[in-house]
Amino acid sequence: MSSEQAHRSVEVAARVERRWATIAVIIVVGMALLAAFAGIHRATMPQPRVETTDPSRIHLSGEFVESNLGSVLEANGNVTVRAIGQQYSFTPACIVVPADTPITLRATSADVVHGILIQGTNVNTMLVPGYISEQLMRFTKTGDYLMPCQEFCSFGHEGMWGKVRVIDKTDFANRAKAGGRLSCVGQ
């Protein structure tokens, strides 16, 4: 191979390489844009704020006292669910929510790191002691959903399964009339 030929082939190689690199950059930028776009048009965004709390005192005051755990119908028609994870259960162990309603889940951990995962949905958040997790959700289908703890929380982790029951919107409204915090515990 003459030196001129060698020089030309280096150029060819570099050109092909540049083309590929351009394609790769376009793929990468496309993916990042997709994430941003999806963030704007779908509700699955990370929670907007970092909020803190003291896990060993949550049962004494604040929003995670026992009488405030469960679902409540807000004045604007939305629903707020408050729950805690602890070794080795969620309280309420069965969460009841209406279908087709914007729901805010607020939850925290009373001891170690736990996680909330509602099977068959993309509701999925960590519960880190000291911090409050907030997640927006909306269910379209009524029925029972399993809600396992998704992070190792010591030796009883395999037994930490909660439940979510999605009921008809009007049923929920009727039950909410009695006041208090709703759950499907023991039903």
Partner 1 sequence: MSTRDLFTFSNRHFTIGVGVIAGILVVTGIAGFIVLPFAQPWVQFANVWDAICSAAGVPQRAANVTAPEQAKRLSEVVLTSRTLSRPSQEAIGRGATLAQRCAICHGPTGISRADSPNLAGQYAAVIYKELHDFRSGARTNAVMSPFAVNLTDEEIADLSNYYAYLPRLPAYHPTPQLPKPNIVIYGAPMRGIAPCGACHGSLDNKTGSPWLEGQSEAYLKVQLQAFAAGDRRNDISQQMRNIARAMTPQEIEAAAAYYASQPPDVVKAVD
Partner 2 sequence: MLVNRKLILAHFWLAFAVFGVALTLGAWQMFIRSPIGTWLSNPELYYRSLTAHGTVMGYVFPTLVAMGFGYAISESALEQRLVGVRWAWTGFWLIVIGSVMAVIPIALGRASVLYTFYPPLIGNVFYYLGVVLVVVGSWIWVALMSINLRVWRKAHPGAPVPLAMYANVAGSYLWAWTAVGAALELLLQIIPVAAGLKNTIDAGLARIFFSWTLHAIVYFWLMPTYIAYYTIVPRAIGGRVYSDSMARISFILFLVVAMPIGMHHTFADPQVGAGFKFIHSAFTALVALPTLLTVFTICASVEIAARLRGGRGMFGWIRALPWDNPMMLALAFSFVMLGFGGAGGLINMSYQLDASIHNTQWITGHFHLIFGGAIVIMYFAIAYDLWPHLTGRELIDIRLIRTQLWLWFVGMIVTTFPWHWVGILGMPRRMAYFDFGDPAIAPQALSVTFSAIGGFILLTSGIMFIVILARGMRTPKVDAGPYRFAIAVHQSATVPVALNTHALWVALMIVLTITNYGYPILNLALGAGTSVPAVYVGAQ
* 74 to 113: interface string for partner 2, x by CB under 8 A: -------------x--------------------x--xxx
Q: How many residues does the chain have?
A: 187
93 binds, among partner 1, partner 2, none (CB under 5 to 8 A by kind): partner 1
Query: Contact at 8 Å (CB) between 96 and 167?
Result: yes
133 phi and psi angles, rounded to 5 deg: -95, 140
Q: Where on the chain is the footprint of partner 1 (CB under 8 A)?
A: 32, 36, 39-40, 43, 45, 48-53, 56-60, 62-69, 84, 86-93, 102, 110-111, 132, 136, 146, 154-163, 179-181, 185-186
- 138-155 burial string, b = 16+ CB within 10 Å, else e? bbeeeeebebbbbbebee
Query: Contact at 8 Å (CB) between 55 and 111?
Result: yes
- Residues 6+ away with beta carbon under 8 Å from 7: none
Closest distance to partner 1 from the beta carbon of 40 (Å): 4
Nearer to partner 2, 18 or 180 (CB): 18
Instruction: Give the residue among 155, 135, 158 at the shortest CA–CA distance from 80.
Output: 135
Q: Which residues bind partner 2 (CB under 8 A)?
A: 6, 9-10, 13-14, 16-17, 20-21, 23-25, 27-29, 31-32, 34-36, 38-39, 42, 44-48, 50-52, 54-56, 87, 108, 111-113, 115, 117-120, 122-134, 144, 146, 148-158
